[in-house]
Structure 1
Amino acid sequence: MRAVGESLQRVDAIKKVTGQAQYVDDIIMPRMLYAQVKRSPYPHARILRIDTSKAEALPGVRSVITGDCYTKRCGLYLEDKNFLAVGTAKYRGEAVAAVAAETPEIADEAVELIEVEYEQLPAVTNAVEGMKPDAPLIHPDLHTYKVAPIFHPVPHTNISHHYKLRKGDVDKAFEACDVVTENTYYIPHVQHVPLEPHCAVAQYDLDGKVTVWGSIQSPYAVRQALSAAFDIPLNKLRVISPYVGGGFGAKAGTTLEGIIIPLARRNRGRPVKLNYSREDEFENSYVRQGLHCRIKTGINRDGKIQAVKNEFVWDGGAYTEYGVNITKAGGWASAGPYDIPNVWTDSYCVYTNHPVGGPYRGFGMCEIHFAIEQNIDEVALKIGMDPAQVRRINGLRPGGVTGTGEVMEVSGFHDCLEQVLEDIEYDKKPVDPSPTRKRGKGVAAGWKSPSQPTNAGSSAIIRMNEDGTFILMTSGQEIGQGSETALTQIAAETLDVDPALISCRFGDTDHTPYEWQTVASRTTYCAGNAIKLACEDLKNKILDLAQIKLGAYKRDLEFRDGFVAHKLYPDRKVPLSDFALGLSFPDGSGVGGPAIGVGCFTLENNLNVDHDTGMGSHPAAFWTIGCNGAEVEVDTQTGHIKVLKMVSCFDAGKVINPLTYTCQSEGAMVQSLGTALFEELKLKDGKVLNKSFVDYKIPTADDVPELVVKYVEHPEPTGPYGARGVGEPLMVPGAPAIANAVYQAIGVRFRRMPITPDDVLKALREQQENEKG
């Protein structure tokens, strides 16, 4: 029975549309306590004194904690983070104390009674300035922090990681190039704005067992971080993540969980719950890092790019325990999906007194490609060549070499480009509907790989019930992306059964098997491979029994539509359910046992790059490549930009479910439209000025253009049924495609996002003034 490649209905659809799906905030438990947090009003300040006596005396308050109670740092890649500020508050809004009370109202009142005395310190609010030798140090003890060996903080500075890429000889190449350009770009912070704010519940049992329920993308990674932070043995720490109402990276690491665990420890047996408000989400959840970008390009008149030199300065915020990996990912992908012989990149992660920068859909690729893909158009203009042709000439082909020196075995770049050019009708010049309404078209390419270590493993268990149905157990988390459906289809395809016979369980570290993280567009690939192996393990065990029952060689038997059948004599078949508990014989003996399959997958050929050069033969499991196109209309009187059409085509390897792929692609295009035209976390002196939907705008239904989704399938040799991850890469080229279309419409290049009506009007006035004088 075919399952992979079919547009099956999402297996979680009915639960979600009827409201039956349970999220963390739906959890109500007896004797629950409610937490609230006291936060710093300053971006950078020394904490001189905290007086909690009035809060502790308030009736209904059960516990009050401060950072002095829990001074151990933690972090996934760089251990630089405290859940409550210790010594200094490093961003405006950082938690400095927390309370647990009988009601949310009492908790709110108690927080107001906590008195904190601060000494304000100079703040770093610009990453470029923060790199300078005389900049105030946000983490003066950085040189003592524990860090993963692939990351390289610069001691006694604000640079928490410096990634270097050195391929070829860029200086020599620039000297020989016909044209050399240099352009700068800026990408501001944005917020993930998932529909579900962060929420968590922690309960500390009398026997020392701790259970955390959270809106969490990566239960096992969170368990590891919390275990290290609070010295809890892993067998005494259970993390449960039910359905997650959107993550986009914001729920990949630890946030509020580390605040409620110590409160729960002081109130054993009583669950403690903490909800983030929407305002908390904007300031105290992860944000997407800001990026200052400079690109120097050498190109010849024939359109061949000979050299690029990049400088990426990432605004990592107050803690960069996750952000250092984004800096690395941006560095090794810095050449874009192009075959360029000489590449030099410096990618810096810099501490600032801004909200904490963390993973966001695209993991740095959206940011760098906003620059890379506009730069392609700009250098094309310099040599008088169409930008699409420059992409044709330089795009990676099979056998091409990436910026890190990796040979691309598979690449659908050119197929995707040509499909997008066709769908956007690139060769057909758009017609302006009026003298004041200008239209333009643009294209952009993009790529992404999973930034994960070799030991970022996946495991899966599949059990067969007595009636021939199955329970699939995985910790590849369903966060709205459709993984529960795709993973079920992979299992059904491998077992040759109806997907309706398989139920999925996920997100419970005591009961579902290990999964590194649900990040990096790796779930279909990594968890999918583990599930395929688990199903093959189950098949092999059942076939061992079937050859006894059917009196046939194992090699002559196969799974077929819910049966074990003989390949040559199809009428000789037995239902799979006959093997659910093994085989029993007339004399009372038996063989086998309950049918269960186990699969484990790891990236066996993932190799670290060289620290000094960034070069490596196989640093990534795979690369997902594709293109976007956009058509826009710009009202030159109001500055309003309307996106009329967006098209997308990516090389997915193999599309597991075309319907969910289309939904992912459409969501990615709309999300990229939001960052291109609307979204910016406005910061002034470290303060977030627009921390609500009143002032922070995201696209609505009125902003959604015509969306065209296509894909090509060049199988990934190591992927399950040829699949590779697509969820994040689909968003990467959207914003630069829109920016390139705006340029074609009005002849103005915008080197920062978002492109607002005010920006357009200002640029048009300057354009007119330059033409006059």
Structure 2
Amino acid sequence: MELKYVGQSYERKDAVKKVTGEAEYVDDIRLPRMLYAWCVRSPYAHARILSIDTSEAEKLPGVKCVITGDEYPNRAGLYLEDRYFMAKIGDTAKYMGEAVAAVAADTPEIARQACDLIKVEYEELPGVINAVDAMKPDAPLIHPDLHTYKVAPIFYPEKGTNISHHYVLRKGDAEKGFAEADYVFENSFYIPHVQHVPLEPHAAIAKYDTDGKLTVWASCQSPYAVRQALSVAFAMPLNKIRVISPTVGGGFGSKAGTTLEGIVIPLAKRCKGRPVKLLYTREDEFVNAYVRQGMHARIKAGVGKDGKIIALHNEFIWDGGAYTEYGVNITKAGGWASAGPYDIDNVWTDSYCVYTNHPVGGPYRGFGMCEIHFAIEQNMDIIAEKVGISPVEIRRLNGIKPGGYTGMGERMDVAGLMDCIDQVVKEIEYDKPCQPAGPHKIRAKGIAAGWKSPSMPTNAGSSAIIRMNEDGTFFLMSSGQEIGQGAATVLVQIAAEVLSVSPDKITFCSGDTDHTPYEWQTVASRTTYCAGNAVKLAAEDLVDKVLDLAQIKMGVVKRDLEFRDGYVAHKIYPERKLPISDFALGVSFNDGSGYGGPAIGVGSFTLENNINTDKKTGIAKHHPAAFWTMGMNGCEIEIDTDTGACKVLKMVSCFDAGKVINPTLFAAQSEGAMVQALGTALFEELKLQNGRVLNKSFVDYKIPTADDAPELIVKYVEHAEPTGPYGARGVGEPLMVPGAPCIANAIYNAIGVRFHRMPITSEDILKALKEKKLKQ
């Protein structure tokens, strides 16, 4: 059946309000009798808190309350409950910047002044600032009570160590594979921490009503996940907590869990009836919001003479920071995707999540895939060169095809990687030599592949409600958050397709746990897929209920009726129709009676048979991943040999999206992903020294500007996802995955020097060129 609204480029539902400034963010909210919060933070990477004296701060006029970490009855965390929202007296502050006390006052200035009056006595402890060292038997323990923490059953902390999760993957017989290989190559890589730097910093407001109801306004991606974490931390029933997330100014994963919400809540509890607000500064964002975890990677590959990879041995050591309540899942995701989008018979992977005294690691766009693919895809080019085949051919030879198997042994019935390779090679003209760019300039091209699946639990459900209004318009309610990726538009298009009405007739409502239905989280590139399926089911439910009524009123068998362009119409005799609005409140009869009631559709979705992998082997008994999104990037770069400056001239992206719901939004996601990947490849690194963040501002932490953006070419292929709404699968995160290794491979092709860490700065390139010249 031809689709009318799905597959079309409709304007974003949130566009006008955002560009005109009408959109309301958390910091725009001004409530009566508002108080303002500020925190005292640890100046040490690792220190025991001996005492906290708040007496002078409490005397300051305008101060309403002062709290310490004793406010928290329970630890909280999404997957591993390992943290309080503030460090407790007698316990340890585990990273430089961790909150140890907080103040609520009449003005932000008074709150800051009061924090300066709080006296904290510390005992500085040895810091653990390298994840590899943190795994050693004699390393200081950051969480000595790790074995007592509550943890989801698919994560495996190791007692008496700094290892909060060890993911194991054992497919085939790697030892035998290496023995049969003609070549064995081993390479190591390092990926540093980076920051998400969304335009809107974190903000939260908390207010306790006199009846004990808590309302939290938070700039967050996942209101229901925040509500659950707060319920655990404060031992409160869920029906007493309301989380509202208004417009969110970008997230990229940084707003997926809880951060400052847990600080304002106990302040508000002490000042019932008065809302308390805390807004992070940009400097806070770099230190106290999630960062992307650092990662040490070692890849050993056994290869045949033809370039076929026979065996693979991976070791990934993730620097999870002071708390890994979210980071353990990234470690798992990196482990189960560790073979990359390649069909390899023998795979051995150990993926470790390790505590350090660094800022807290958490989800970042790509969820571990950008990190591991920086290693995987450079390794593929290294192998290709040493074996004597092209980077294109080695990917065609080893890449997953329909009927192939993932590293977890999961059969791939749908896989569009080969088509993506063909598209990118064509668009970047990979086989065509680069034209000379003038004196002291070198141009080269590079390619890289990538993939990602949602790393979510088996019960990660979505739900949606659709209400029809009396005039035939609709309200679509979902907690799939709009964080800039286009959810508010794409979900409406899916509903519009089922309801056969223009998307303009549907209003999207989201982000309120008291009023919009359950959504696990807006992460994992799962919203179009999971929330989209729930929306489709809700729309179909509404249609089904209306057609039940219509067959009574129209005297036509239900199977012969359908929704068509705002009408309930006869399939064979389309002139026999009634406006759908006639059924918004049920049906009425001439005798004054009625039947049915208001038209409401409800849909719930959880992927069936989404079974966990085996603990000992990591092998899939069925389908641990909802879907895999895979694709390819290509780029052309120019290097100035006098300065080392690398300019990316062109980038091409092609991914298998299953079905593109909105081509314009898909292109915007692709373009943003390529530029964001460019930033991590060439500029971005959270510079840490003994636990201290040295570059916590945009002066010192560089992200791409418009001047850095290359020519961007977006392509896609569509091999329908059988379980996705209209065949769609998620794309937002996977699109970023191949970008950085693609650029790294191009740099090698330009100057013949391989960089095993990112970012690859102009200083790095210039130094490498000078060293290469000296060796000649």
With the shorter chain as reference, the TM-score category is over 0.9
Paired residue for 2:96, among 86, 92, 96?
92
Please state whether the residue corresponding to 1:440 is helix, strand or coil.
strand
Aligned pair 1:441/2:438, yes or no? Answer: no
Contact kept? 1:243, 1:478, Cα under 8 Å: yes
In the other structure, the counterpart of 1:720 is 725
1:63-142 to 2 correspondences below 5 Å: 63-86=65-88, 87-142=91-146
The Cα shift of 1:14 comes to 0.6
Query: One-letter code of the match for 2:8?
Result: E
Written as runs of structure 1 = structure 2, the 5 A alignment for 1:135-214 is 135-214=139-218
Alpha-carbon separation, structure 1, partners of 2:263 and 2:729: 37
Q: Which amino acid aligns with 2:292?
A: R
Match status 1:394 vs 2:427: no
Displacement after TM superposition at 1:429 (Å): 1.1
Aligned residue number for residue 326 of structure 2: 322
Residue by residue over 1:226-258, the C-alpha shift from the partner in whole angstroms, topping out at 9 and shown as x without a partner, is 011001111110000001000000000000000
The answer for the alignment partner of 1:696 in structure 2 is 701
Letter in 2 for 1:499: P
**Amino acid of the residue matched to residue 755 of structure 1?**
I
Equivalent in the alignment of 2:15: 13
The residue number in structure 1 matching 2:410 is: 406
Q: Provide the C-alpha distance between the structure 1 equivalents of 2:138 and 2:55, rounded to a whole number of angstroms.
A: 40
Question: 1:48 maps to what in 2?
Answer: 50
Distance in structure 1 (CA, Å) of the matches to 2:341 and 2:420:
12
Unpaired runs of at least 5, structure 1:
none
Tell me the secondary structure at the aligned position of residue 348 of structure 1: strand
Structure 2 letter corresponding to 1:767: K
Indicate conservation of the 8 Å contact 1:664/1:727, yes or no: yes
Aligned to 1:481: 485
The yes-or-no answer on 1:462 pairing with 2:466 is yes
In 1, distance between residues paired with 2:764 and 2:752? 14
* Alignment check: 8 A CA contact 2:53 2:120 kept: yes
Unaligned runs of 5+ in 2: none
Q: Deviations 1:177-236 (Å, cap 9, x if unpaired)?
A: 111100000000000000000000000011000000000100000000001100111111
How many Å apart are 1:765 and its aligned residue? 1.8
After TM superposition, give the deviation of residue 434 of structure 1 in Å. Answer: 2.6
Letter in 1 for 2:756: R
**2:531 aligned residue:** 527
How far residue 68 of structure 1 moved from its aligned partner, in angstroms, is: 2.4
Matches of 1:544 and 1:57 in 2, distance apart? 68
Contact 1:460 1:531 in 2 (8 A): yes
Aligned to 2:744: 739
SS at 1:542's partner residue? helix
SS of 1:31's equivalent in the other structure is: coil
Contact 2:309-2:398 within 8 A present in 1 as well: yes
TM-fit CA distance, 1:766: 1.9
The answer to whether structure 1 residue 762 and structure 2 residue 764 are counterparts is no
Q: Normalising by the residue count of structure 2, what TM-score does the alignment of the two structures yield?
A: 0.99
- SS of the residue 2:250 aligns to: coil
- 1:26 is matched with which residue? 28
Confirm or deny that 1:503 pairs with 2:503: no
Partner of 1:660: 665
Residue type at the aligned position of 1:754: P
CA distance in 2, matches of 1:636, 1:388: 27
Letter in 2 for 1:415: D
Query: Which residue type is aligned with residue 389 of structure 2?
Result: M
- Which residue number in structure 2 is paired with residue 298 of structure 1? 302
2:74–2:235 Cα contact (<8 Å) kept: no
Paired positions, count = 771
Amino acid at match of 1:511: H
Distance 1:56 1:5 in 2: 60
Amino acid at match of 1:233: P
- Tell me, what secondary structure is at the counterpart of 2:404? coil
Helix, strand or coil: the match of 2:121? Answer: strand
Q: Which has the higher mean CA deviation after the structures are superposed, 257-266 or 760-769?
A: 760-769
Per-residue deviation, 1:435: 4.1
1:589 Cα deviation from its structure 2 partner = 1.1
Note the C-alpha offset of 1:767. Answer: 1.4
Equivalence for 2:543: 539
Asked if 1 retains the 8 angstrom alpha-carbon contact of 2:308 and 2:397, the reply is: yes
Shift of 1:71: 4.7
CA deviation after TM superposition for structure 1 residue 2, in Å = 1.0
User: 2:345 pairs with 341, 345, 349, which one?
Assistant: 341
Deviation at 1:770, TM superposition (A): 2.4
User: 1:515 aligned to 519, 536, 547, which one?
Assistant: 519
Aligned residue in 1 for 2:633: 628
Alignment-derived partner of residue 555 in structure 1:
559
Task: Work out whether 1:39 is the aligned partner of 2:41.
Answer: yes
Amino acid at match of 2:453: S
Encode CA deviations 1:492-541: one digit per residue, 9 max, x unaligned: 00111111000010000000000000000000000000000000000000
Q: Does 1:279 align with 2:283?
A: yes
- The C-alpha deviation readout for 1:561-609, integer Å capped at 9, x for no partner, is 0001001111000000000000011111111000000000001110100
Q: Which amino acid aligns with 1:23?
A: Y
Find the aligned partners of 2:406 and 2:193 in 1 and give their Cα distance.
Answer: 28
Distance in 1, matches of 2:681 and 2:494, equals 35
Q: State whether structure 2 residue 248 is matched by structure 1 residue 244.
A: yes
Q: Indicate if the aligned counterparts of 1:556 and 1:567 stay in contact, CA closer than 8 A.
A: yes
Matched, 1:226 2:230: yes
Q: Residue 587 of structure 2 corresponds to which residue in structure 1?
A: 583
Q: CA distance change for structure 1 residues 71 and 88 in 2, over 3 Å: closer, same or farther? A: farther
Cα deviation per residue 1:297-350 (whole Å; 9 max; x = unaligned)? 011111111011000000000000000000000000000000000000000000
> What secondary structure, in the 3-state scheme, does the structure 2 residue paired with 1:761 have?
helix
Aligned: 1:313 with 2:317: yes
Aligned residue identity for 1:24? V
In the TM superposition, what is the alpha-carbon distance from 1:172 to its structure 2 partner?
1.1
SS in 2 for 1:226: helix
Contact 1:669 1:734 in 2 (8 A): yes
Q: What is the alpha-carbon distance in structure 2 between the residues aligned to residue 535 and residue 126 of structure 1?
A: 51
> Residue 190 of structure 2 contacts residue 296 of structure 2 at CA under 8 Å; is this kept in 1?
yes
Question: Is the CA contact 1:179–1:382 (under 8 Å) kept in the aligned structure 2?
Answer: no
Partners of 2:438 and 2:769 lie apart in 1 by 17
Q: What amino acid is the match of 1:750?
A: F
1:308 and 1:434 map into 2 onto residues whose CA distance is 42
Answer yes or no: is the 8 Å Cα contact 2:73–2:235 preserved in 1. Answer: no
8 A contact 1:416–1:649 mirrored in 2: yes
Give the C-alpha shift of residue 769 in structure 1.
2.4
* AA in 2 matched with 1:139: H
SS of residue paired to 2:466: strand
Distance (Å, rounded) in 2 between the aligned partners of 1:60 and 1:537: 55
1:672 corresponding residue in structure 2 = 677
User: 2:709 corresponds to which letter in structure 1?
Assistant: V
SS at match of 1:443: strand
Take 1:434 and 1:607, find their aligned partners in 2: how far apart are those partners?
Answer: 57
Deviation at 1:144, TM superposition (A): 0.6
Between the aligned partners of 1:378 and 1:636, the Cα distance in structure 2 is: 23
Alpha-carbon distance in 2 for matches of 1:304, 1:523:
36
Give the SS at the match of 1:675.
Answer: helix
Mapped to 2, the partners of 1:256 and 1:212 lie a distance apart of 11
Residue 650 (structure 1) aligned to one of 646, 649, 655: 655
| 1:62 matched to 2:64 | yes
CA deviation map 1:610-644 (0-9, x unaligned): 11100003110000000000110011110100000
Quick check: 1:730 aligned with 2:735? yes
- Classify the secondary structure of the residue corresponding to 1:646: strand
Q: Could you say which residue in structure 1 is the equivalent of 2:368?
A: 364
Identity percentage over the alignment?
Answer: 74
Q: Residues 464 and 595 of structure 1 are in contact (CA less than 8 Å); yes or no, is this contact kept in structure 2?
A: yes
Shift in Å, 1:651: 0.2
